[in-house]
Structure 1
Amino acid sequence: MNTLFNQPLTVVNAGLSSFADNLALAGGDVTDLRWQPPALGDVDAGLALATLIRHPLVEHANDQAFQQYLAAQPVLVDVMSAAHAISAMAHRKLILHAGPPIEWADMCGPVKGAIIGAILFEGWATTHEAAERLAADGAIDFEPCHHYQAVGPMAGIISPSMPLWVIENKTNGRRAFSNFNEGLGKVLRFGANNHEVLERLHWMSQELAPALKAALNVLGEVELKPLMAQALHMGDEVHNRNAAATGLLIKRLIPALLSAGLPIERIQRVTEFIVGNDHFFLNLSMAACKAMTDAAHNVPFSSMITVMARNGVNFGIRMSGTGDRWFQAPANPVEGLFFPGYGVEDAAADLGDSAITETAGVGGFAMASSPAIVKFVGGTPADATSNSRRMQAITLGGNPAFTLPALNFAPTAAGIDARKVVDRGILPIINTGIAHKEAGVGQIGAGITTAPMPGFIEAIRALAEYV
């Protein structure tokens, strides 16, 4: 012992940082290990977690779920109306929304505004006041997009007459759906519902969607994983930056549109709309990611997360081994860059189904491939790379289909393991747009957020009951 204290000491401090500070002030060589108990110090949850670590049933289930995710081959196969694609919408006044379930009275401003717009678009009411009364009186059914294998950005609203992208996983034949991207500005997904918004929605339904369907009839099926992989090598992360992916899609679509026998004026309007919207591919990316994570869902005993979604109030997750059960917690705030004149006090809580991209290992998990994204969401290119590296600590493995040039073409981290999230205290990172809390104002910024820990703790408790 005397020999030990007669030589230079290097101290590792685990716990309160003030202990490390005192040692440093005294001239000591100290490394401050930022550690906290798992499960936010919840003893019962920590014990539940301990039963799941290295459990043979869970390990085998996670391997199966992850392999099914990797094997998924999402392909764009069709365009059709929501009522045609989703049978439950054919004979009901049903509107789908982003995130976990929520009642009308509890919805945030942008979601309420978007629902009013959808009611007017469907012709179920002729005034904003009448549409709001229908929604408040229970005349309209509201359910999450995820309950019908669908996803939508921000408010995520899908009503029966809206056109949908139809994505099929060629490995298992299951389909996923997403609505069309309207572009930026005053748009439905941010809660806008004025005449301009409704006119655009009608044009998308009556002219854009049929033209794209005709183009697909000429083009045939479009494999999306290779297109997304190429976009990652061109500076996208296929969530908040889709400039390259949209460009690659346009290269496929324009020759097909020209060969589809459509009037040249119509082709011009359609191509101008797509070319003017760098986010056009986002909804396809989301549906492809939904198809991939759905392939891993409902594997008994698996702790792999297959859904992360937000409704502007709560953040919800679903875990493969616990079926269609939601685990919810209040959504975390978004830290980012605001447009001039706006600040955090103006922002709605985290919103949208687009976190399905992070669930599938792209988006925020692939920020290393998209250093330019930091000009949109804040931070530095080094932060973007650090985010991608840190997600490797909470995932089951990497997806070799999606590689990151900045990390020596390492595969993106994928397969969020709820056990690792709770054990290591590292939250899944998400980059996202920021909506104004009032309907119709629109996007006011973009930034970085994380999934809240309490939902993962609840999921671990539930899984421990199964094992």
Structure 2
Amino acid sequence: MTRLFDQKISVLNIGLQSFADNIATAGAPVSSIMWQPPAEGQIEAGLVLARLLNDPEVIKANEIAMERYLGVEPVLVDVQTAGDVLPDFRADKRLLHSGPPIAWQDMCGPVKGALMGAAVYEGWAKNVEDASRMLESGEIQFSPCHSYNAVGPMAGIISPSMPVWVVEDANSEARHRTFSNFNEGLGKVLRFGANSTEVLDRLRWIEQELAPTLQKTLQVTGPIELKPIMAQALHMGDEVHNRNAAATGILIKKLAPSILKTDASTDVQERVLSFLASNDHFFLNLSMAACKNMLNAAAGVPNSTMVTVMARNGVNFGIRMSGTGDQWFQAPANPVDGLFFPGYGVEDAAADLGDSAITETAGVGGFAMASSPAIVKFVGGTPQDATNNSRRMQSITLGTNPAFTLPPLNFAPTAAGIDAIKVVDRGVLPIINTGIAHKEAGVGQIGAGITTAPLQCFVEALLTLWAKRKGNS
């Protein structure tokens, strides 16, 4: 030991940087490795992680889940009324909301406001005060959109009379279906909790004029493949979550000639085309339904640790994992680091909100930010940050999706198939770019930024999977 200190010392520091700083101050060469215990030092989670790492059954299950996800060909086939195509949706007075399950008293302002507006829209309540009473008493029920194979941005509200996009997997015999509501456009909208007469009148126009016209349009066009639109949009500056300008333009190009061939009046055709052209985010809801369709195929594979849902309800963040079926794992939503519109700040914001994180779950959105350098003007950061985000996500996924490639990364495919094991083991959290809603109903969007999924969701999912395996052994 004495002779050791007579020699020239080179130090490898693992852990706290301050240890390395002290050694460098003393004049010794030191190299640092950034490391922290997996699962933030939770002992039980660390033991379970050690057992699941490189487990042959888990590896095989993840290969199956990933293969199923990659094999889906989502196509837009129809527009229908939600109550007609979502199973048992009309059986009672029920509304759907974004994110994991939540009690009325725990909801954030925008979701409460949107549910009340939907109850008035359906004619179940005379006004929002009456709707609030009915929702609080349980006279009107509510469930997550994901429970019905549906998705909705921000508050995510779907009611029985609302039109929904119908997306099918063209590569499956069963032609598995997923659904999303329609994007309402800009201004005061239900998805941010607004429920004024203006908002409800727009919803009725969507139901009575826009949706029937687009339903007729799809009868002319036939099924529209959504993956190629998303892939092309990634090459044109979109990431198909917070930027959909290119994807919406491509969709309009496909729809417009057929809209003109429908029997809708010239005035209706003009209003429909004007509405589509004025809403750069119109494709978002289709992107979400397509991603949901792809991920549904990967769900329910025993022993798989592939994440199939990430969603937020304005209070909690929730995930589902393939090997644990429809069970939700929740934790408080992480704060959003972003840019606020003038006059607003973090104290005004609701927690992260919406089902649109299904895009990141499928490998686009925040995972594809490298393809959309312009997005940083909206969510903050630099183009290099966007590229770094896409690269970092490769460390927590099972593979890549060759259908979606990123030009700034030499057309490398997007990282896809979030692996809960890798998230917990490496401490790298899935990144999401997101809009920021005001905490009060109806104020609307007050900014946008970057957030991450909370680690504890993934820890709980792995603990549950391990307990399930032990119970079956």
What TM-score range do you get, normalising by the shorter chain? Answer: over 0.9
Q: Residues of 1 paired with 2:393 and 2:290: CA distance? A: 21
Q: Residues of 1 paired with 2:424 and 2:132: CA distance? A: 41
Corresponding residue number in structure 2 for 1:184? 186
Cα contact 2:87–2:148 (8 A) shared by 1: no
Corresponding residue number in structure 2 for 1:202? 204
Corresponding residue number in structure 2 for 1:124? 124
Q: Residues of 2 paired with 1:412 and 1:134: CA distance? A: 45
Letter in 1 for 2:463: R
Corresponding residue number in structure 2 for 1:349? 351
Corresponding residue number in structure 2 for 1:423? 425
Letter in 1 for 2:451: T
Cα contact 1:301–1:466 (8 A) shared by 2: no
Cα contact 1:313–1:350 (8 A) shared by 2: yes
Corresponding residue number in structure 1 for 2:246? 244
Cα contact 1:49–1:464 (8 A) shared by 2: no
CA deviation vs aligned residue, 1:187-208 (integer Å, no higher than 9, x gap): 1000000111011000000000
Q: Residues of 2 paired with 1:7 and 1:25: CA distance? A: 15
Q: Residues of 1 paired with 2:30 and 2:315: CA distance? A: 42
Cα contact 1:336–1:445 (8 A) shared by 2: yes
Q: Secondary structure at the match of 1:302?
A: coil
Offset at residue 88 of structure 1 (A): 1.6
Cα contact 2:238–2:245 (8 A) shared by 1: yes
TM-aligned CA distance change 1:46 to 1:403, over 3 Å: same
Corresponding residue number in structure 1 for 2:230? 228
Corresponding residue number in structure 2 for 1:166? 166
Corresponding residue number in structure 2 for 1:376? 378
For normalisation by structure 2, the TM-score amounts to 0.97
Q: Secondary structure at the match of 1:208?
A: helix
Offset at residue 15 of structure 1 (A): 1.1
1:213 to 203, 212, 215: 215
Corresponding residue number in structure 1 for 2:274? 272
Q: Residues of 2 paired with 1:413 and 1:117: CA distance? A: 38
Letter in 2 for 1:152: G
Q: Residues of 2 paired with 1:48 and 1:191: CA distance? A: 41
Corresponding residue number in structure 1 for 2:95? 95
Counterpart check, 1:80 vs 2:95? no
Q: Residues of 1 paired with 2:6 and 2:138: CA distance? A: 74
Letter in 2 for 1:362: V
Q: Residues of 2 paired with 1:461 and 1:242: CA distance? A: 37
Cα contact 1:318–1:327 (8 A) shared by 2: yes
CA deviation vs aligned residue, 1:197-242 (integer Å, no higher than 9, x gap): 0110000000000010011000000000011000000000000000
Q: Secondary structure at the match of 1:183?
A: coil
Q: Secondary structure at the match of 2:138?
A: coil
Q: Residues of 2 paired with 1:431 and 1:33: CA distance? A: 29
Corresponding residue number in structure 2 for 1:114? 114
TM-aligned CA distance change 1:257 to 1:19, over 3 Å: same
**More moved, 107-116 vs 262-271:** 262-271
Offset at residue 16 of structure 1 (A): 1.2
Q: Secondary structure at the match of 1:88?
A: coil
Corresponding residue number in structure 1 for 2:335? 333
Letter in 2 for 1:63: E
Offset at residue 87 of structure 1 (A): 2.6
Identity rate of aligned residues, in percent?
A: 68
Counterpart check, 1:43 vs 2:43? yes
Corresponding residue number in structure 1 for 2:406? 404
2:293 to 291, 294, 312: 291
Q: Residues of 2 paired with 1:25 and 1:3: CA distance? A: 20
Cα contact 1:158–1:179 (8 A) shared by 2: yes
The total of aligned residue pairs comes to: 466
Letter in 1 for 2:51: T
TM-aligned CA distance change 1:136 to 1:28, over 3 Å: same
Letter in 2 for 1:291: N
TM-aligned CA distance change 1:372 to 1:31, over 3 Å: farther
Q: Residues of 2 paired with 1:87 and 1:56: CA distance? A: 37
Q: Residues of 2 paired with 1:61 and 1:281: CA distance? A: 33
Letter in 1 for 2:432: I
Q: Residues of 2 paired with 1:194 and 1:440: CA distance? A: 9
Cα contact 2:149–2:292 (8 A) shared by 1: yes
Q: Residues of 2 paired with 1:403 and 1:394: CA distance? A: 18
Letter in 2 for 1:456: F
Q: Give the aligned CA root-mean-square deviation in angstroms.
A: 1.3
TM-aligned CA distance change 1:5 to 1:180, over 3 Å: farther
**More moved, 226-235 vs 18-27:** 18-27
CA deviation vs aligned residue, 1:4-50 (integer Å, no higher than 9, x gap): 975573x3321112112212333444333221101110111110111
Q: Residues of 1 paired with 2:271 and 2:191: CA distance? A: 22
Q: Secondary structure at the match of 2:449?
A: strand
TM-aligned CA distance change 1:54 to 1:5, over 3 Å: farther
Q: Residues of 2 paired with 1:29 and 1:278: CA distance? A: 54
Letter in 1 for 2:58: V
Q: Residues of 2 paired with 1:94 and 1:407: CA distance? A: 45
Q: Residues of 1 paired with 2:256 and 2:463: CA distance? A: 51
1:363 to 365, 369, 376: 365
CA deviation vs aligned residue, 1:331-384 (integer Å, no higher than 9, x gap): 101110000000000000010000000000000000000000000000000000
Offset at residue 59 of structure 1 (A): 0.4
Offset at residue 125 of structure 1 (A): 1.1
CA deviation vs aligned residue, 1:425-459 (integer Å, no higher than 9, x gap): 00000000000000000000000000000110001
